[in-house]
Amino acid sequence: MDQNIAKYRVSIRSKKWWWAIFSFCLDLCVQQTWHMYRATPASEYIPMDLLAVRRAIADIYLKRSHTAARLELPNHPVGRVAKLDRRVPPAIRCDGWDHLVEHISKQRRCAQCGKKVKQICLKCNVPLHRKYCFVAFHTPV
pLDDT tens by residue, the chain, 141 residues: 888 888 888 777 888 899 889 989 999 999 999 999 999 998 899 899 999 999 999 888 887 765 444 444 444 444 454 455 567 777 777 887 778 888 899 988 888 888 889 998 888 888 888 877 888 888 876
> Pick from 90, 17, 85, 22: which is nearest to 9 by CA?
22
pTM, entire model? 0.47
CB 73 within 8 A of CB 86: yes
What's the pLDDT at 73?
45
Residues forming beta bridges with residue 109, ordered by sequence position: 116
Distance CA 36, CA 70 (A): 33
What distance in Å separates the CA atoms of residue 141 and residue 138, rounded to the nearest whole number? 9
